[in-house]
Amino acid sequence: MLTDLSAFAWRVAVATTIAVIVCLLLRRPVRAWLGAPAAYAVWSCVPLAIVAAAVPGPPAATAALSMPLLRALPQPHGTPVLAPGWESALGIAWLVGAVAMAGWLWWWQSHFVRSLGPLRAQGNAVWSAGHDRGLPASLGVWRPRIVVPADFATRYSGVERQLIVAHERLHLRRGDLQANLFAAVLLCLGWCNPLVHLAWRAFRLDQELACDAGVLARHPRLRRRYADAMLKTHFGSAGAATVCHWTTPHALVQRIAALRALAPHGRTAGAALRQWNTPLVMLLALLASAAAWAAIPTRAPAVTHAGSTPRPPVDYATLTPPRYPKDAMDARLEGSVELKIRMDASGVPQQIVILRSQPAGVFDAAVLAAARQWRLVPDKVHGRPVPTTVRVPVQFALDPPDEVAVPPGTDAPAAAGAQPARCAASACAAKKG
């Protein structure tokens, strides 16, 4: 189960990294060509890539192979017990970092909300704060609110207040607060990936630029007033992870420069076509994710391949049976473990899953430690080795069982004569991916 989960996490991490690289490379050209809203829509590639990596792909063909029973060897005196692999230590380090990042973001958010002081309702989901650090802003994933500084009515003119509120309402209408929460979760999970941190800042900037473009599309003649409202904002704290801020110091210059590129457009045919840029980008991202999903088959029904070459799925010259755990031997415990191993075309195990364990958890570590070192023999289709999945039963017995044990170094012909494990043909199926 742990190995299966690790393979899943690795697959999702690789897909996320590739999607982030694509977004970072495309955001500027798409913004220059199709506009800021389309550049913001490019980031939809990230959740779509995660879904494509997480959902099992379409089925592939399989072939049936028999598997002899493998018997564990007693633990010799003086043999050290294997410590947990580096994969476990790496997983623990990643988990600690993810929890630490989540705790820091939570403290950051809580500190920002507390720094606003008491909030007073102004009507129409607009609230006035006692302090103006990082305001105006939209906050609250579950109860979204627009929070403005206490001197909002005196600092900004009537037109500027209208533009600011329109900007924040557009954030709420598009679900940007929920998108920020999702991005914060990815930031916690990918805390050790520098590309994720770079993407976090780029995503937030593209979000604000898209909102600016949306407001000025409705008020094309008010670019100067819009820029004045940005310059009047008092810079304070950096805000919080899931908050949509009116402006921040590091993004102000880029947003002001982007306003200059937003030339007023009348209701021309070109302006009418521009509204389809964002849906077009999202459709292309969806089609690309669907193509990537279809290219990775993962599951299959049990079908016998006519062109396959039957052969033992284990190379006994390189397979070492698991060692009998000392604690289980002292307690006179016996049992069995059934593994499902997915190997590549060279016979190297890529994914190991425990299907059945009796007694539960007693022999799992010993079997997994041995299985990671195995080199198996993949099935062949039309004379070429293909990725294969095979089920391997392993017996832990203190007295010789009725089945023939297969110690290391046993010749393959002798191994082939061993009594097969008691399982149906479908339970001993090997799958080519």
Q: What number of other Cβ atoms are within 10 A of residue 268's Cβ? A: 9
Task: Give the residues across from 145 on adjacent strands.
Answer: 139
> Residue 296: what pLDDT?
56
Indicate whether 145 and 178 sit together in one domain: yes
Task: Give the residues across from 356 on adjacent strands.
Answer: 338
Q: How far apart are CA 325 and CA 75, in angstroms?
A: 6
Closest CA to 371 of 66, 90, 72: 72
From 69-83, 346-360, 369-383, 384-398, the region with the lowest mean pLDDT: 69-83
| 128 located within any domain | yes
**What's the token pair of residue 362?**
């007693």
What percent of the chain clears pLDDT 70, i.e. is strictly above it?
Answer: 66
> Residue 191: what pLDDT?
93
Indicate whether 233 and 308 sit together in one domain: no
Indicate whether 234 and 312 sit together in one domain: no
Helix, strand or coil, per DSSP, at residue 241 = coil
Residue 314 per-residue DSSP state: B
| 170 located within any domain | yes
Whats the size of the chain, residue-wise? 433
- The per-residue pLDDT for range 103-142, each reduced to its tens digit, is 999 999 998 888 888 999 988 889 999 887 778 899 988 8
Q: Categorise residue 302: left if φ over 0, alpha if ψ from -120 to 50, beta otherwise.
A: beta
> Residue 262: what pLDDT?
64
| 202 located within any domain | no
Q: How far apart are CA 395 and CA 397, in angstroms?
A: 6
Indicate whether 353 and 306 sit together in one domain: yes
Helix (H) or strand (E) holding 370: helix 364-371
| 349 located within any domain | yes
- The per-residue pLDDT for range 208-250, each reduced to its tens digit, is 999 999 999 899 899 899 988 888 876 544 556 677 766 665 5
| 106 located within any domain | yes
The stretch 90-107 carries a mean pLDDT of: 93
| 57 located within any domain | no
Closest CA to 353 of 314, 310, 392: 392
| 252 located within any domain | no
| 40 located within any domain | no
Indicate whether 97 and 132 sit together in one domain: yes
Helix, strand or coil, per DSSP, at residue 376 = strand
Helix, strand or coil, per DSSP, at residue 120 = strand
Task: Count structural domains, the chain.
Answer: 2
Question: What is the b/e burial string over 28-44, where b = at least 16 CB atoms within 10 angstroms of the residue's CB?
Answer: eebbeebbbbbbbbbbb
Indicate whether 69 and 99 sit together in one domain: no
- The per-residue pLDDT for range 161-217, each reduced to its tens digit, is 999 999 999 999 999 999 999 999 999 999 999 999 999 999 999 999 999 999 998
Q: What number of other Cβ atoms are within 10 A of residue 125's Cβ? A: 17
Q: Which amino acid is at 333?
A: L
Q: For residue 353, what is the domain's CATH number?
A: 3.30.2420.10
Indicate whether 232 and 378 sit together in one domain: no
57 pLDDT higher than 60: no
79 pLDDT higher than 90: no
Residue 98 lies in domain:
92-197+209-246
| Contact predicate 151/167, CB 8 Å | no
Indicate whether 218 and 320 sit together in one domain: no
Q: How far apart are CA 41 and CA 21, in angstroms?
A: 15
Tokens 């017990």, residue?
Answer: 81
Q: How far apart are CA 127 and CA 120, in angstroms?
A: 5
Tokens 């090997």, residue?
Answer: 430
Indicate whether 67 and 106 sit together in one domain: no
Q: How far apart are CA 117 and CA 130, in angstroms?
A: 5
Helix, strand or coil, per DSSP, at residue 296 = coil
Give the full edge-to-edge strand order of the sheet including 308-309: 308-309, 380-381, 384-385
> Residue 304: what pLDDT?
36
Indicate whether 314 and 397 sit together in one domain: yes
Indicate whether 410 and 369 sit together in one domain: yes
Indicate whether 225 and 345 sit together in one domain: no
| Contact predicate 240/187, CB 8 Å | no
Q: How far is CA 393 from CA 70, 335, 341, 378, 412, in A?
A: 6, 11, 11, 17, 17
Q: Categorise residue 387: left if φ over 0, alpha if ψ from -120 to 50, beta otherwise.
A: beta
